[in-house]
Amino acid sequence: MNKKLLLMLAISALSAFSVRAQFHIGVKAGVNAAKIDGKSFKEEFNYSYLAGGFAEIGLGDKWSINPEVLFSQTTATTDTSFTNTLDVLSSDQRKVKLNYLSIPILLNLRLIGPLHIEAGPRFGIIMNKDKKLLENGQDAFKKGDFSMVGGAGLNISMFRFSARYVIGLSNISEIPDQDKWKNEALQFSVGIAF
């Protein structure tokens, strides 16, 4: 009997907490228009994708913290200066594809109705490296990235629409004495909150 009572009290407490804390989890997917800034790469955005999960932790009527875990891809094309300054396998322009596990932690403010703005840091962990990019097989890219994110979104019922700008703050180049490389992206996504 005590176990049933304890279980019912725990369920009631969790229910009250989830209603009061406005806690939601969800999934999202979208387009990642990204580039690598630096004179070794072409100044163009390349389209790839992002997908993952998110949580919304309410902090009252207008504020929430939204941590996310996303798989995102960055694609860039090397420029002619890349082959002129580094020992590379060929003089052809090459596509570089980087897969990141991105962890943005965003502060979200509801403005009017379904309109929200969000901002915060993003930590990126590289999942792959193109070891064929340099002749000696050394790594061209660091294992991590630190960026800032800013954007806006619409929360309509259970649907989440967002548009964001991501600017890299850390140098992702592992090559000493070269120009700095930084990630930059425009992200558009659609999600469903449960």
- Looking up residue 97, the CATH number of its domain turns out to be 2.40.160.20
What's the CA gap between 78 and 91, in Å, rounded? 10
Nearest to 69 by CA among 51, 45, 88, 46: 51
Q: Give tens-digit pLDDT for 40-96.
A: 778 888 999 999 999 999 998 899 999 999 999 888 777 665 554 454 444 455 777
* Any domain includes 3: no
Let me know if residue 13 belongs to a domain. Answer: no
Q: Looking at the domain assignment, is residue 132 inside a domain?
A: yes
Residue 7 domain flag: no
- Are the CB atoms for 168 and 185 separated by under 8 Å? no
**Tally of domains in the chain:** 1
Secondary structure E strands in the chain = 23-37, 46-58, 63-77, 95-110, 115-126, 144-156, 159-168, 182-193
- Residue 167 belongs to domain spanning: 22-193
Q: Answer yes or no: is 9 within a domain.
A: no
Question: What is the pLDDT, as a whole number, of residue 137?
Answer: 44
In a domain, 17, yes or no: no
The answer to whether residue 150 sits within a structural domain is yes
Provide the whole-model pTM.
Answer: 0.78
